[in-house]
Every structure is written in C-alpha cells, then in structure tokens.
Structure 1
C-alpha cells in the first residue's frame, strides 16, 4: 500500500511540532507501507522562502518529493490578516477573500496540489498534516475520498473562517492528537460522523546524560528549560517576563535556558541563557531535558506538545500554561507537573518544584509511566496502521 504524507515543511533541521510528528510517523510507518512525503522547499514558516532543492531526496530512508513555493509570506498576508481578523467580522468574509488569505499565508505551492490531482491513483491514502495551510486545504478538497487529516487544531481565530467548515466535513478520516483537540473540533464543526480516532504521536526514548549537556554548554547552576519556537505565538515573551519578575523576588541561583529559533528579542540578563537552535530529537535535546530541574511550556494553543512529552520521557516535571486545555490535561492525567494561570501561581508552583526533590522525583516517575503507557512508538504506530487500513478498505 502506498501512502502520501503531505506536510508544509519536512527535514531533520525543521523546528515545528506538526513537522516533527510528520517526520517521526513517516519513518515509523516505513516498515508497513510504501511512504512518500509531499512537501515544499521551505524551511522557515515565517517566509516560506525556497531553501531546499526542488525534486526528490531520501531522508533517513523516507522518499521526500519537494515542490517550490511561488510566493513568500509578506505584506499581502499582513494586510489580509488585519482586514479579516481586526477590521472585518469573520463571518462576513467572502470565500474569495478567504482563498486569497490562504494563498498569502502559504506555503503557496500549486504544483504540489497539481501533482496530487494528477497522481492520486498511484496512492491508496493521503495523510494531510495541519489544517491551517494551503497544501492541506487544497489537497483535501482535491482528493477528499482518499484523505485523512491530522489537523493539529486548536482554538485560534483562523479556524472560524468558513472554508474550514468545508475542510473538516469532507475527509474520509480524521486523526486527532488529543481528546481535547477532538472535543474542540467536533463542537466547532459538528463533524463527529466522520470516522476518527485519537492517536497522538510516539515519543523517542533516548538514553540521556545531563552532565554531558552541562559541560558542553558550560552551565553550572540549576536551570529551568524552554525548548521550541521563541515567539509571541508560543507565549515565550510572557515566560521571559514572568521569569525576570521571579528573579527580582527570589534571590536564588536558578537560570532560564532557552533553546530554539528566536522571533522576538531576548533581554540581556545573567539569568537567561540562550543556546540557539538545537535539532529536535537530537541527543542534545534529550540531555537538556534530563538536566533541567523543570521544563516550562507557556503556550496557550497546543494540540499535543511534543516538547512536553519529551520532558516527561526523561523524568523531568513540567510547569505549563493552564489556559491551554491540552497542556493542563497532560498535567492532570500524568500527575507529573503543575499548571499556572497567572504570575502568582507561576511563582508558587515553580518554588514548590524547585524546593522539593522528593516531589520532583515522584512526578518524574509518573511522567515516564505516562509516556510508556500512552506514547511509546510501538503502540502508537500500530494504532495508525489499524486506522489507515480501516479507511483504505472503504475507499
């Protein structure tokens, strides 16, 4: 059986939750199917500039077919974004304007969609990652009868555009990353009649060495860790503000270590250590998680959060934004962390975790069990195979 996996970006040096899930799934499904990834030449989601070479390459055994983007995300996207979400009532936006917005947001690769249309008979099923982007929207519209969406959806303004009422009601199947995502989508689009399953993603387990990380990056003090995109969309600016306020009040040795590509300025402070980009799923990332006393996850919009699961796999407790139902649910179900709703709770919960080694150890043990029971790849990949086979039989 041949499976086409369509995703906006793909590569070992891509930092993005959906993209990392797509790559992990592609590699793990190789033993069951003929896998081919259909993606763009983009590396950076903020511009979609063509960086990778167009055509076919093999990445860790996976065949990857890349298509060029015909435009970069720029002024037109900003103007349409303002018009639709700031000036206009979203329910009054015409489909013509919505299509222009989707194209301007990108990655705009009509050749990818043409390839799907022209070669659809060569594939048994297509998996489309991330509801928000052009390749998924127009790809699913092109081959709804062979489409399974992995939407990575959450409560954000664009999802209320009319085009998504169509998108979420026409695929052959939907795979959700969490129960919270499923509940939100079905409440929003009344589409529970579409065959679906909550599966999530597997988490790699790597033997980690915290001392190696500390020596490599010359970190001698205790630290809390944030790993991911450093931008406002992920709540990074609020985390930084909270931490600097915390340090003004708490005269301890704790540092904040930031890992990831930055899209905002990071204040100069002896208490903040910015290490730049470190490839996801690398040993260095797992060493960082193991070395941290606590990992912090400040985003208010997540559909799964791989960085949190990676932290739990290393036995490190988490502190999360309680305004995100997915992150809060992970904490409650795993009993491996705390959530906060404001600065005072952030300070209180962080102090609890830092000052109580027995508590951290107990939460760390709970986290490892949570990952083993729910997110081990051997269990996850079988659930994907069962769902894909079930859908394929109905096509």
Structure 2
C-alpha cells in the first residue's frame, strides 16, 4: 500500500523561523515523513510583523519534507495596530472582519490557488494555527480533507464570527492540551467534531552545556532566562517592569537574559541582557545554565519552551493569569506561578535562594515531560487519526482492525474477567478482531482466552488494551511488545493489608511500580471508578477517564435455586456479604456486627460468600466467630458458590452489608442494588463512588449502632422500599448499554472508532 500524501499548511516554515506554532509544525511534518509523503504549503515570509518575502518562491526540500513556498501579496501596513483597535472598539460587519484578516496577513493568492487546484493531489491537509489567512481562507477549500491544529488560547480573535466556522468544518481537530480543547468547545460548541488531544513530543539535544553558554556570552553569576518573541504580545513589558522592580527593591543579584527576536524598546539596564535570535544550541545551553525560565505570556495554547526547560531539569516561573500555563505548571509540578508583582517577587526569590526547591521542581518537571510528551505516544495518536480519516473501504473489514486485550488471569466469577469478556464482545460487534491474552487461564476457559505466549503482533495493530490490578508478568510482556496501550486500571490493594503475607505484599508493591512505569506508553488511562481515576491523575497519567464495571442484565436471567431459597428462609433476618476472604474485606467486623445484631434479633444469620484464597485468614475468621459465640447456625462461610447460588443469595437476603476498608469498585454492591437488596456499606475507597447517593453509607464502625440500623432497615418497610427504589435508579449507570456508550466515546477520543 502506498503512503498517504499529506500537505501541512502553515503561515511560516523554516529553521530560521522562531515561533512555537511554526516550530511544532516543522517537528510534526518531519516526524510524519515516517507515515506519509509529506509536503508543506507556506509563504516566503520569516518576519511575522511585516510578512516581507524573504525566501525564494518555489519548491525545496528541508529534512525530507517537500516545501512549497508562495509569495505574500503585500506586506503588513504600518497602521495595522490601529486597524485592530478600531475593529474591536466599534461596530463591525463580516466584511470588516474579512478585510482585517487579509490586512493581518500573510495573504497569498498563489498559496490559496495551489490549495484549491491540488485538492485531488493530497489525501489530507493539516492546517496549523487558526488565526492566519492560510487557514481562514484555505481550510474551507478542502474542508472534507482537513485537519485543524488550532493552537488556540483565550484571546479576542477566537470569538470573531469569521473564525467560528473553522471549528466546525474540518474532519478532525487536534489539540495540544485538555484546557485548549475545553476552551474551543466552550466558545464554538463543536463537541461533535472528531477531536483528540495529541500534545507534542519535546526535543532536547544530548550535548547541552551551561558552561559553553557562559563562556560564549561572557556571563558570570546567576541569571534567569526568557526564550521566545520579545514583544508586547508575549507580555514582555510587564516582565521587564517586574524584574526591574525586583532588583531595585533590594532583590538578589541576578540578571535577566532575553533570547528571541527583539520587537520592543528595552530599558537601559546592565542587568537586562538581550541576545536577540540565537541558534537552537545556544537556546538550550542558556536554559540549562539559567536558575529558572520565566514565561510571562497571557495567551498560550501550549508552551514548548517550558517543556524543554523541564526536560533539562530547569524550573519555571509563569504567569498564573494564563490558564494554560497555570494548568501546565500544576500538572507538571515543575515550577511556580504568580498573579501579580508581589507573588512574582516572592516566587523568584524562593527559586534563587532555595537550591533544593529548584532541584525538586526540575526533577518533577522532567519526569512529567518524559511520561506525557513522548514522541512515540504523540505519533501513535496521529497515526490512528490519519488511518481513520483515510481508511479505504477494504480496510474497514473486521479483520483489518485489530485490538487485543491483555490481563494477568482469566477466571470465573471475577469482576475483571467479566469486564474483559464484555469488552471483547463489544469490540467484535464493532468490527474489530479482538482476542484475550492471559498468563493464567482457569481450566475450562481455554476456549475464551489464549495463553499470552501465543501472541504475535499483526501489521494492523496500532495499540492494545491492558488490564492492571496487581504485580504481573503480563505487564512486563506488554512493555516488551512496545505498542501504545489503553490502560484499564482496576486498583491495587495497599500492601499494608497483607503484611503477614510477604509474597502477596511484594506482588502488590511490584504492581504499583509497574503502574508508574506505564505512563510514557499509555494513550488513555481509564479507572473503573472515580477513585481509581483520581489515583491515575495523582500518578501523572493523562488523559484519564472512568469506565465502570458493566452489569450484564442477561447474567441475572437465571432461575432461583429453590432448595437454597428455602434454606435462606429458615431464620431471619439474613445478612449477606460477597467478596473473597482477604484482610482488606474485614469479614471479622461483619462478625462483630452479627454479634450485636443477634442481641436485638436473636435469629439473625449471616452468609459470607467468597473464594478462600488465604486459608490462614479464613481459619482466623472462624476462630473469631467461635470467640463471639457464633456457630454454624448463625454464620455460614460458603467459599466460592455457583452463579445460580450467588443470585439466589442476593434475592433472598434482607440486607447487604460491607465493612471492606479497600475497594477499587465493588461489583457486589451493584449486583445487590440490581437484585433489590438494600445496601449498607462502610464509606471507604471507591465505595462512595459506586453507591453514589444510593444505599446507606457509614463512616465509623460503631457496631452497636450499626446493628440497630440494620434492624431498622429490615423492619421499616417504607424506608426499605425507598432505599431499593433509589438503588434501582443508581444501578442504571452501570448497565451495559450505558457503559458501552462511554467505551465507544473513549475509542473515538483516541481515533480508534469513527463517529
């Protein structure tokens, strides 16, 4: 199959061009040469203030990319700033906005004619930045083949009526950050358009040298650096004022070094040094040598220079009034932000005086960039999107789309295994070839899953699905495969619960380490509860979401075991708990509850259903029951039961009670709610997320009070019915059709499923 032919359209392009959007455009075009026959359509301009033609027109080759340059019709007029003020100060028509856009430039008749005439020559057109004529006038000419990288930030131009169609016309929009996507969605209401957050990979040369920079420019002593365009649009006047005040008011002995093309007058001060435009090597050397990088801009879609600084371990100080910069700083934890001069002065003083703070911020920033701005992950997102948008009919056959799942073990009655089976069914119904690969497969399930050792990567695979819940061999296998992953995280029980079992505790610790190592190769991280998603966010995964355990209603279409039901009726009330016997489940607390409940209701019974993985813990539970005077007529330890028997217990019990102190989701909670069984549960870990405002949550284990509560729920029929009714409403969230809608939306978000 021949490579796709793709044209990237951008207002300026070249190694001499100093601008974030244009630099990203060049990086992207050069990276895309591995996937497509890449062409760039651009102007002959370098200077974005004048748009003077600097390059010769025609075709050239730059780093493997065919560049088509076209002359700008006319340079920008000197009174353009006044025209801009007039546009926003008074009434304006659509014609006024169109004329202003042409006056802003760069407007090139030749460039627009080429886009129109070459429609059939390219599979896709990628337009970089929303704000300039090549995109505003060029994208509508090829909208059914267009991808937009808006590079948007919160500025007045974004709200111009002539701009809004750009966010509805293209086949897809690629954002650098989540805040950028939210901003555009809020203003343009274009959520229905295919959208992904791809970010950008960060490049830093290997031979960066702080000492080389100091020698070359004769700089001694500490300095902070600004790198970018030195003009008002980047809020440089405020930075210059703040820095001068900091020094004049007795601030520390430090210089401000400015790197970038100078477009404004500087104060005549020896502590403010402008180097003008420098080479990329000098820029990186300067950032390495600096105490901190300062970024005062009010408007950004993504600051790549911040990422570059973090990758070199240099902390940053940014303007907190720019939501994107503040969000970037808070997520990366690699710097500080300020809102006014006083905060600027305090933060800068801290960075200059506290070596340990600078080093810590630098380490955190570096870890964040390495995990989230990795070119392999970024390009996997682009490849999935490009494949989706240019997919030929022959490629749409089920056998041409492959998405396999990997999990450590496949078993019976296990929540993770059940979810894996459901997802496989969904994927196959969507037209994917989808197998389940596991290291351990329970006897009898060999036909539903395949041994992980049998996996062979197929050409059509672009990523895989990985379920993670414990230290596992499958996690290492997935890492060796090397494909980007959709991570579905089912939670890792804290090892402290398993201190008496060093083998299990070690496995849980291993699982935690493996989880943290997955960030750099994860396209999308999903927790099966809000609790799990919050944990993923804290570790540094992005983007994240929640994919609850799905409840298959067909699984409840099973007849009741009448003999067991009759046994359940022997004594009442009947209290039920379902869960494997493990220390975090705290079955011993259920026994204490039963002891107090039998003082109120002497015939109360309890059934504890669950596999017995820890025999010593189970033996200890039986000893506790004996100590409390609870014989086999009072409490029954069933071990693993059949699916029919488990449903019978749900249908026949009076109350479901959970004392568990750690749950990643708690599937028995939703099974109880679906079965019409009132739930009373300890509000730990994911339990509040799963129950929502249904059932009854308690926060302290006052067993005498809890026994009275259980007795009320059993005997107060109106209360009982209100609880059951609210639980029935809540459980709708977890039914298969609702969860499948979420799953399909997540697949669309990473370009694996068409709209």
TM-score (norm 1): 0.96
Deviation beyond 3 Å, 4+ runs, structure 1: 75-80
Partner of 1:146: 145
The Cα offsets for residues 170-191 of structure 1, whole Å up to 9 and x where unpaired, read as 1110000111110000000100
**SS class of match (2:337):** strand
Q: What is the aligned partner in structure 1 of residue 230 from structure 2?
A: 230
Partner of 1:317: 315
2:102 — aligned with what? 103
The match for 1:346 is 344
**Which residue number in structure 2 is paired with residue 50 of structure 1?**
53
* Structure 1 residue 378 displacement after superposition: 2.2
Taking the TM superposition and a 5 Å limit, the aligned residue runs for 1:284-299 are 284-299=282-297
CA contact (8 A) 1:204 1:376 kept: no
Does residue 392 of structure 2 align to residue 389 of structure 1? no
1:242 & 1:83 partners in 2: Cα distance? Answer: 30
Shift of 1:380: 1.5
Counterpart of 1:23? 26
Report if aligned partners of 2:175, 2:199 keep a CA contact under 8 Å in 1: yes
**Corresponding position: 1:258 with 2:258:** yes
- Counterparts of 1:153 and 1:383 in 2: how far apart (Å)? 20
SS at match of 1:47: coil
Counterpart of 1:134? 133
Partner residue, 1:221: 221
Distance verdict in 2 for CA 1:266–1:76, change over 3 Å: closer
Deviations 1:335-376 (A, max 9, x none): 111100000000011111111111111111111111111112
TM-fit CA distance, 1:165: 1.7
The answer to whether 1:73 aligns with 2:76 is yes
Equivalent pair of 2:52/2:72 in contact (CA under 8 Å): yes
Q: Aligned partners of 2:315 and 2:8: how far apart in 1? A: 33
Query: Any idea what SS the aligned residue of 2:276 has?
Result: coil
Structure 1 residues 75, 394: CA separation in 2 closer, same or farther (over 3 Å shift)? Answer: farther
Matched, 1:83 2:86: yes
**CA displacement at 1:394 relative to structure 2:** 8.0
Counterpart CA distance in 2 for 1:126 and 1:150 is 11
Say if 2:13 and 2:22, in contact at 8 Å, map to a contact too. yes
The change in CA–CA distance for 1:361 and 1:76 in structure 2 (over 3 A counts) is closer
Indicate conservation of the 8 Å contact 2:252/2:349, yes or no.
no
SS in structure 2 at match of 1:229: coil
Task: Give the structure 1 partner of residue 666 of structure 2.
Answer: none
For residue 76 of structure 1, report the CA deviation from its aligned partner: 6.1
Are positions 1:271 and 2:274 aligned together?
no
- Measured in 1, the distance between the counterparts of 2:80 and 2:390 equals 37
Q: What is residue 186 of structure 1 aligned with on the other side?
A: 185
The alignment partner of 2:244 has SS state of helix
Q: CA deviation at 1:251?
A: 4.6
RMSD value over aligned CA atoms? 1.3
What is the distance in 2 between the residues matched to 1:113 and 1:162? Answer: 21
Matched residues in 2 for 1:79 and 1:264: separation?
Answer: 17
**Cα distance, 1:313 vs structure 2:** 1.1
Contact kept in structure 1, 2:257 and 2:274, CA below 8 Å? yes
C-alpha distance in 1 between matches for 2:392 and 2:22: 28
1:311, 1:354 → 2: CA distance? 16
What secondary structure is seen at the aligned counterpart in 2 of 1:12? coil
Q: Give the Cα separation in 2 of the matches to 1:145 and 1:322.
A: 38
CA drift of 1:158 comes to: 1.5
Q: 1-side partners of 2:174 and 2:391: how far apart?
A: 17
Label 1:22 to 1:139 Cα distance change in 2 as closer, same or farther (>3 A). same
Which protein is bigger by CA-based radius of gyration? 2
Structure 2 unaligned segments of length 5 or more: list them: 394-755
1:32 positional shift: 1.2
Q: How far apart, in 2, do the equivalents of 1:75 and 1:242 lie? A: 30
TM-score, reference length from structure 2: 0.51
Tell me, what secondary structure is at the counterpart of 1:192? coil
The residue aligned with 1:166 is 165
| Deviation of 1:250 (Å) | 2.5
**Which residue does the alignment assign to 2:567?**
none
CA distance in 2, matches of 1:384, 1:126: 13
SS in 1 for 2:358: helix
The answer to whether the Cα contact below 8 Å between 1:76 and 1:104 also exists between their aligned partners in 2 is no
Structure 1 window deviating more from structure 2 (95-104 vs 173-182): it is 95-104
Match of 2:16 among 13, 23, 26: 13
- Measured in 1, the distance between the counterparts of 2:215 and 2:176 equals 36
1:122 is the counterpart of 2:121 = yes
Deviations 1:97-119 (A, max 9, x none): 11111111110112111111111
In the comparison of the two structures, how many residue pairs are matched?
Answer: 389
Q: Does residue 371 of structure 2 align to residue 368 of structure 1?
A: no
Shift of 1:82: 2.7
